[in-house]
Amino acid sequence: MKILHFMANMRVEKGGVVKAATDLCAMASGEHEVELITLDPSGVPEHWCNDDPSTPRVTKIHDELGFGGSLNKEQKNQIRECVQEADVVHLHAMWDPANAQVARICRSLNKPYVLTAHGMLDDWAMAIKRPKKLIYLKTWGRNLLRDASLVHCTAESELEQSTPWFDAQKGRAIPLPCDFGAYQDLPDKQLAYEAFDKLEHDLPKVLFLSRIHHGKGVEKLIQASSLLVKKGIQHQLLIAGTGGESYVQEMKTQAENSGANDCIHFLGFASGEEKIALLSACDVFTLPTDHENFGIVLFEAMASGTFVVTTNGAATWPEIEESGGGMIIKNTTESFAKTIEKVLADSSAYQEKASAGRAWVLDRMAMDKVREKYNAVYKEACDSNPGAGPK
């Protein structure tokens, strides 16, 4: 089977959506012929662009997008040639006009397509610039959802919130592919202490590891740490990740003025074995997020054997609760302070829960099982035999 992925801009700053798209390409490339078409491949792994037959093929569309983000005639012809050779097309994201144009190309060539919404149709996302999005769905993008063979969401909660915008029978909830191979045998926790010299062995550790950005809730954790200090609860709040320079500095200044500055440490970017060791070395992982379409880091934390505390802003909150390795709480400073205190006070009980969560992730989200679900979706799309010809 040849699977053609299209995303107009794979820019690095698009973050999670780009990673999701590249992970889906990488997962399928072991069994299928995979081609990724984009106008800006800056977020694509560099070695994919070297015509390596063991990686997905990357095709860069000529020129830049036209008025309003639309494709010109030459670009549409280039994409049409690629679509003609594909068995199924996989479109990413909702609001790029180019996606609607590619969908029309698919329909004219009688090629099925799967659309991954990437959380852009859930309640939180649709509340932002809602009038503009409604106009788009009634005009430029009116056929994008209707003509899709299947619409992919990454969690049951996202699917439930998104189905008012398309035929619910087309919806499929499948987690994003995550390679947990490196989590099967966890690295020695000592690696974390060597990599991040602020860590102290004899203090309970609370970890935030994500992009430091508005909506991720770093400020709530800083305030929660201050409340814990006032109650005499010893701990370390470890903030790992990067973000906009001005916002990161704002959070550091808030920490300095919180009364808990000695407990709060900004670790910078963490990756590879050092990241896994850091996750494993901490007593609780916290993410006070307003909105998280999938939240891969939540499952990485659970796979590391660390108990997770987050909010229902993460679309995967039902799966996290089901796993037993996490707790969903109100997104307030007080809730996080009380919950962190509770977890640290009964560490052995929550370590048992964390172990159950780790087993759940390594079983339920194993790459082979997830790959089978996507293969089934592509086969179903190919068997759907959509009508041909433009509207």
The model carries a pTM of 0.89
Cα of 65 vs its chain's centroid, Å: 26
Tell whether the torsion through CA atoms of 73, 24, 315 and 225 is positive or negative. Answer: negative
User: What is residue 314's three-state secondary structure?
Assistant: strand
Gap between the Cα atoms of 37 and 84, Å rounded = 13
Give the bridge partners for 285, in sequence order: 207, 308
Share of the chain above pLDDT 70, in %: 97
Does residue 389 carry a pLDDT above 50? no
The fold adopted by the segment(s) 2-178+368-383 is Rossmann fold (3.40.50)
Cα of 335 vs its chain's centroid, Å: 25
Is-contact 31 181, C-beta < 8 A? no
Instruction: Output the six-digit token pair for 211.
Output: 């992009």
Instruction: Output the six-digit token pair for 215.
Output: 């909506």
Is-contact 60 30, C-beta < 8 A? no
- Write the pLDDT tens digit of every residue in 69-108: 889 999 999 999 999 999 999 999 899 999 999 999 999 9
Higher pLDDT, 292 or 283: 283
- Write the pLDDT tens digit of every residue in 360-374: 999 999 999 999 999
Average pLDDT over residues 172-185: 94
Question: Which residues have a Cβ under 8 Å from the Cβ of 228 and sit 6 or more positions away?
Answer: 235, 260, 263, 337, 340, 341
Closest CA to 10 of 35, 37, 47, 41: 41
DSSP structure string for 132-186: HHHHHHHTTTTTTTTT-SEEEESSHHHHHHHGGGS-GGGEEE-PPP---GGGSSP
Does residue 17 carry a pLDDT above 90? no
The yes-or-no answer to whether 2-178+368-383 and 181-364 have a common fold is: yes
Domain ranges of the chain: 2-178+368-383, 181-364
Cα dist. 114→60, 102, 374 in Å?
21, 12, 10
CATH of region 181-364, choose from 3.40.50.2000, 3.30.430.20, 3.30.70.120, 2.170.120.40: 3.40.50.2000
CB count within 10 Å of CB 151 equals 24
pLDDT-derived band of residue 388, with 50, 70 and 90 as boundaries? very low
pLDDT-derived band of residue 387, with 50, 70 and 90 as boundaries? very low
